[in-house]
Amino acid sequence: MTEELSGRRIVVPETRELGQLVRMLEERGADTVPCPMIAIRDAPDPAPVEAWLRRFAKGTCDDFVLMTGEGLRRLLGFARRLDLEPAFLAALSATRKITRGPKPVRALREVGLAADVPADEPTTEGIIAALERYDLTARRVGVQLYPDNPNERLLKFLKDAAAEPDPVLPYVYVSEADDKRVIAVIAEMAAGQIDAIAFTSAPQVRRLRDVARASGREAELRQGFERIVVAAVGPIVAQELDALGVQVNVTPHDNTFFMKPLVRELAAALMKDHKC
């Protein structure tokens, strides 16, 4: 344990792994401010997911694009409830698996499988760049989508490559912290009572933005961002912040888009800021 973050107040918008991220920061002496922005739920209408699983379990897909680790875990949950898990895993094993970033790779390892084609970078563009090396003519490609991103660019690429995309959206995002809690965090940021915020997903950024807009606190949020160190776990989150005009101060190096490298880089940035 170290104390390099002693006295630093850091907002943590993570939900699923909130406890783990809080522990990592507090082990370095930080005073964390948990504010879980987004919760993850199974798709409210299970019928399309179940129909997709039944098709996939019959071996209909030649390829499967995994965008997130959460997506695979949710599909496994649906398959388990349908008594399709063995058939789903058998089909998954026989299918060429294309992964965007380290999280779907980790989810595959949890079931004893490995990625066949990793994206060049953990983005849609990285997936497309990797797939451009292959002939996709007449291949059926399962595409695991994630909320707020229908990924029309990837689906169009597949169609233009003469493939047949078969998308599935197994989960949705819902609001977690109530608006009053989010507004309180915005006020603390603007008042200089927060030292940093550590974003681990783009929807967290969008939720903060939406609450600020709905409550007439956009200027206050901009002021808050200008006063703190802003950390983003990877390029997708950084792009979302950039679209808001927010300068990202910290991202993990060497394509290690996990929480541990994020905490390490955030600690280094705050220590440097303190010395200045």
Residues 112-133 pLDDT 10s: 999 999 998 889 999 999 999 9
pLDDT at res. 276: 42
Tell me the whole-structure pTM to 2 decimals: 0.79
Residue 34, SS3 per DSSP: strand
Quick check: 1 pLDDT over 60? no
Whether 3 is in a domain gets the answer: no
Are residues 20 and 137 both part of a single domain?
A: no
Per the structure, how many domains does the chain have?
Answer: 2
Helices (H), ranges, the chain: 18-26, 46-57, 69-81, 85-94, 102-110, 124-131, 152-160, 179-190, 202-214, 218-227, 235-243, 259-275
pLDDT at res. 255: 60
Amino acid found at 219: A
Are residues 154 and 197 both part of a single domain?
A: no
Task: Write out the residue range of the structural domain in which residue 193 sits.
Answer: 9-37+176-275
Are residues 30 and 48 both part of a single domain?
A: no
Are residues 17 and 60 both part of a single domain?
A: no
Are residues 93 and 211 both part of a single domain?
A: no
pLDDT at res. 49: 98
Q: Residue 120: which CATH number?
A: 3.40.50.10090
Share of the chain above pLDDT 70, in %: 96
Of 124, 153, 173, which one is at a domain's C-terminal end?
A: 173
Amino acid found at 183: I
**Helix pair angle (124-131, 152-160), 10° resolution:** 10
pLDDT tens per residue across span 57-116:
999 999 999 999 999 999 999 999 999 999 999 999 999 999 998 889 999 999 999 999
Are residues 166 and 78 both part of a single domain?
A: yes
pLDDT tens per residue across span 136-157:
999 999 999 999 889 999 999 9
pLDDT at res. 4: 87
Q: How confident is the model at residue 183 (pLDDT cuts 50, 70, 90)?
A: very high
Residue 29, SS3 per DSSP: coil
